[in-house]
């Protein structure tokens, strides 16, 4: 954990300090060794949150992109009383979970059911083959409206264990590699796989890192993008109708029919 409570104040780990866990109120010990990032650990060595895992520099760097008052926020289910600490919970109520290590499907589904209004940010550099697979699969993506693509075979772009998520998954293929050239736009962007299918196609979109951080608090619905998926479905339907027309009648461009202003307002 990045934070513990010291005299009722949220504090980062420093050598020699002791704090209190804001979930179970037990003693926390500051761990400040050279091999790992500074963090707090339960004195009992048993975490009160079953979803807790060791943080990496990638994980911590993503947390630090958000205001401190959005980091490590307790989320409680009022019906069951179940408690977990979200990596990020914005003032708008959107939960963001950062995931680098492997995760079991049942835990993935449990988190999605528990938080409901959430999205994943996944480290796409954990396995060497992940980014080359994305680059190869990217060639088969078909662009629809600006920034959105359709994929018949999303497994050609993304790891299989993330294909059935019920919430958006944003893949970070840059990781902590600051040497990636800024002109490598494909790698410097985040690539989102949306959970719903449109006409049988998976929907993929690119978004800048700073844009995700901004929208998470100001317009989280744009990151979930349900409105965009409806517009894309309508766009595909209109294209199909145009292709099936044999009367020789001139049809207007499908995108124009959908009102470009709506796309500008809702796109990522």
Residue 263 has pLDDT above 70, yes or no: no
Q: What is the pLDDT of residue 54?
A: 85
SS3 (DSSP) at 121: strand
Residue 180 has pLDDT above 60, yes or no: yes
- Whole-angstrom Cα distance, residue 111 to residue 128? 26
Residue 254 has pLDDT above 60, yes or no: no
Q: What is the mean pLDDT of residues 157-171?
A: 96
Read off φ and ψ for residue 172, nearest 5 degrees. Answer: -105, 100
Domain limits, the chain = 1-48, 51-266
User: Considering only CA atoms, which of 196, 190, 70, 212 is closest in space to residue 122?
Assistant: 190
| Chain-centroid distance, C-alpha 182 | 21
pLDDT band at 53 (very low <50, low <70, confident <90, very high): confident
Q: What is the pLDDT of residue 231?
A: 80
Q: What is the pLDDT of residue 232?
A: 82
Q: What is the pLDDT of residue 179?
A: 62
pLDDT digit string (tens) for 217-239?
Answer: 999 988 988 777 888 888 777 87
Which region among 53-67, 210-224, 245-259 has the lowest average model confidence (pLDDT)? 245-259
- Whole-angstrom Cα distance, residue 225 to residue 230? 9
- Give the single-character DSSP code of 52: -
- Whole-angstrom Cα distance, residue 261 to residue 174? 32
pLDDT digit string (tens) for 183-195?
Answer: 577 888 999 999 9
Output the CA–CA distances (angstroms, integers) from residue 194 to 47, 117, 158, 185, in the order listed.
32, 14, 12, 20
Global confidence as pTM? 0.86
């Amino acid at each position: 954990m990045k934070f513990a409570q010291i005299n009722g104040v949220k504090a980062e780990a420093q050598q020699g300090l002791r704090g209190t866990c804001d979930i179970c109120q037990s003693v926390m010990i500051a761990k400040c060794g050279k091999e790992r990032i500074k963090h707090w650990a339960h004195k009992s060595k048993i975490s009160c949150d079953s979803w807790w895992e060791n943080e990496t520099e990638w994980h911590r760097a993503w947390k630090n992109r958000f205001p401190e008052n959005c980091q490590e926020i307790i989320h409680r289910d009022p019906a069951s009383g179940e408690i977990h600490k979200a990596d990020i919970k914005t003032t708008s109520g959107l939960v963001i979970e950062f995931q680098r290590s492997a995760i079991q499907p049942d835990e993935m589904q449990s988190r999605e059911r528990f938080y409901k209004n959430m999205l994943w940010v996944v480290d796409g550099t954990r396995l060497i083959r992940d980014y080359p697979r994305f680059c190869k699969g990217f060639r088969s993506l078909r662009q629809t409206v600006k920034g959105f693509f359709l994929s018949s075979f999303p497994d050609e772009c993304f790891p299989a264990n993330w294909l059935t998520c019920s919430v958006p998954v944003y893949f970070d293929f840059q990781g902590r590699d600051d040497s990636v050239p800024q002109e490598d736009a494909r790698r410097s962007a985040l690539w989102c796989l949306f959970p719903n299918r449109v006409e049988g196609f998976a929907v993929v979109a690119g978004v800048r890192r700073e844009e995700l951080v901004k929208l998470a608090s100001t317009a989280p619905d744009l990151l979930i993008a349900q409105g965009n998926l409806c517009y894309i479905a309508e766009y595909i339907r209109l294209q199909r109708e145009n292709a099936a027309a044999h009367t020789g009648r001139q049809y207007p461009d499908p995108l124009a029919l959908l009102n470009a202003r709506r796309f500008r307002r809702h796109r990522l």
